[in-house]
Amino acid sequence: MTGTCEQKVQQLHCSFDAGVSRPFAWRREQLGRMKLMITAHRKDIERAVYLDLGKPAAETALMEIKLVLDEIRFVEPRIERWSRRRHVAMPLLMQPARSWTIAEPKGVVLVISPWNYPLMLSLEPMVDAIAAGNCVCLKPSELSPNTSALLQRLIGAYLDPRAFAVVQGAVPETTELLKQSFDHIFYTGNGRVGAIVMEAAAKQLTPVTLELGGKSPVFVDASANLDVAAGRIAWGRFTNAGQTCVAPDYVLTTPELVEPLAQKIAGFTRKFFGSNPAQSASYGRIVNTRQFDRLVKLLPSDKKTFSGGETNREHLYIAPTILTDVRPGDPVMQEEIFGPILPILAVNNAKDAVAFINGRPKPLALYVFTRSKATRLLFERHTSSGALGFNLPLGHLLSSRLPFGGIGASGLGAYHGKAGFLEFSHIKTVTSKPTFPDTLRIAYPPYK
Ligand code: NAD
C-alpha cells in the first residue's frame, strides 16, 4: 500500500468497512500466506536479524521464526470456534427472550513493535489481529532497519494490500501515525513510550495493549537444584545478549548461595559460549552504541564483577557478566538491564525476597527455583507479575496456549492464542425478545 501515512490508514478503514478482512476464509488465507512468506524467506529473515542485532541464525530460527509459525498453526484452525455465537440465558424477568455474544473484529489495528525480536514482535500480534478479522497497520522499529525493510517488502508482496500497511520511521513518523484514528493500538516497547502511546490513544478513546518491560526477578532457595537453576538462568539471561523482555534481570538468593550460584552460572556461560564469548557464533551483540553506552554505565568497579565484564564498543560486544556484592541502590538495580549483565543479591529468606519484589514495580515475569511447596505457594499468592515461572524462565513466552502480558508498569492486556484473538475482538452482546407476548409492559411507568 502506498501514499502518506494518513492515506494508508484511511484506505485500511475503507477496506475494513467494505468487509475485506471479515470472512473466515480470507483470514485463513492471509495466515497461510504469512506462513509461506516466512518459510520461503527464512534465510533472508535470519540474515536481516543478524545484520540488525548480530543474532545467531539458530536463535532467530527458534525464538522468532518458529514462534510465529507455531502461533499461526495454533490460531488458524480455531478461528471459527472462537468466533462462534455463545448463547447465554436471560433472567426470568426478561423472558421470553434470548441472548448471545459474538466476537467481532475491532477494525483497523496499529501494531508498534520494538527491535529486540523484530520479526516475532511484529508478526505475532498481526497473526492474532488477522485471526480476529482486523486490518493492520504495522510500525516496525527504526532500530532494526534491515528487518523492518524486509518486513515491509514481504508483507507488501504476500499479504492482501487492501488490508495491510507498513509505515516505517522513528519518532516523527510514529507521532504522526498516533494522530490517526485506529480501533486498537498494540504497542510493544519501553514504558516511557508506552505512556506516550496511551496518552495519544486516550485523546480518541482508542483501546490499547501495552507490552512493556521492567526488571524480572529470580529467586533461588537452598532446596533448588542449583545446577539446573544455573543453566536455565544463564540461558534466559544471555540469549539474545540479554535483550529479552522476560529475561531474568536479577537474582535474589540466600547469602550462602550467592557464590556457588554465581560460579555455576559462570560455568554455564563458558559451556554455552566458550572461554572467549566474543568469538562464539552462539553469542549475540548489543543493538547499537546508545544501548552499549547505557549498559557500560551499569557495570560497576571490578570488585563487584564476579565474571565477564569485558566490552568492545566497536563490535558492540559485552561479555556475559555476573555481578555479586550488589546493593539495591546500585545503578544496575535502578532500571531494566536489557543486556548481558546479571546481578546476584543476597536476601535472608523467601519472605524477604517477596518483600523486595513487592517493594518495586510489578514485573513482567518472576521466576522461582525451589523444591518447596510452601515457597511456591508463598510466591503464587503474595506476589503479582505478568507471569510466574517455577524453575522455568521464558517458558510461558513459548506457548500459544498461555496469555502473554504484563501488569501495572510491565503492561496492560495480553495476547498469544485465544487471549490475542480476544484482545483484538469486541465481544458484542446481542439480545432478542419476541414482540408477543409483550411482557416488558410490566416495567413501563407509571410505577405503582
Ligand atoms: P524501540 O526503541 O524499538 O521502541 C519501540 C517502538 O516505539 C518503536 O517502533 C519506536 O519507533 C517507537 N517509539 C520510540 N519512541 C517513540 C515516541 N517518542 N513516540 C512514539 N513511538 C515511539 O524499543 P524499546 O522500547 O527500546 O524496546 C525495549 C523495551 O521493550 C524493553 O523495556 C523491553 O522489556 C520491552 N519489551 C517488551 C516486550 C513484551 O512483550 N512485553 C517485548 C520486547 C520488548
Print pLDDT tens along the chain (448 aa).
Answer: 667 889 999 999 999 999 999 999 999 999 999 999 999 999 999 999 999 999 999 999 999 999 999 999 999 999 999 999 999 999 998 999 999 999 999 999 999 999 999 999 999 999 999 999 999 999 999 999 999 999 999 999 999 999 999 999 999 999 999 999 999 999 999 999 999 999 999 999 999 999 999 999 999 999 999 999 999 999 999 999 999 999 999 999 999 999 999 999 999 999 999 999 999 999 999 999 999 999 999 998 766 789 999 999 999 999 999 999 899 999 999 999 999 999 999 999 999 999 999 999 999 999 999 999 999 999 999 999 999 999 999 999 999 999 999 999 999 999 999 999 999 999 999 999 999 999 999 889 999 7
| Residue nearest atom 5 of ligand 1, based on CA coordinates | 114
- Residue closest by Cα to atom 6 of ligand 1: 114
To test the pocket of ligand 1, the residue of 128, 212, 244, 412 to mutate (highest count of ligand atoms within 8 Å of its CB) is 212
Please tell me the distance between residue 209's alpha carbon and the centre of ligand 1 in angstroms.
13
At 355, the amino acid letter reads A
Q: Which residue, among 283, 306, 282, 308, has the nearest Cα to 295 in the 3D structure? A: 308
Q: Is the CB of 363 under 6 A from ligand 1?
A: no
Helix (H, G, I), strand (E, B) or coil at 274: coil
For the chain, the straight-line distance linking the first and the last C-alpha, in angstroms and rounded, comes to: 63
- If you search the block for the grid coordinates 516496525, which residue do you land on? 140
State the Cα angle at 140 between 136 and 143, rounded to 5°.
Answer: 175
The Cα 156–Cα 153 span in angstroms is 5
**Coil vs helix vs strand at 339:** coil
Do residues 419 and 403 lie in contact, with contact meaning Cβ atoms separated by under 8 Å?
yes
C-alpha angle 341-235-243 in degrees, rounded to nearest 5: 50
Longest dimension (CA), the chain: 87
Interatomic CA distance for residues 292 and 331, integer angstroms:
15
Spatial contact of 159 and 133, defined as CB atoms under 8 Å apart: no
Residue of 59, 64, 76, 211 marked active site: 211
Whether the predicted model's global pTM rises above the 0.75 cut: yes
Total residues found in the chain within this entry: 448
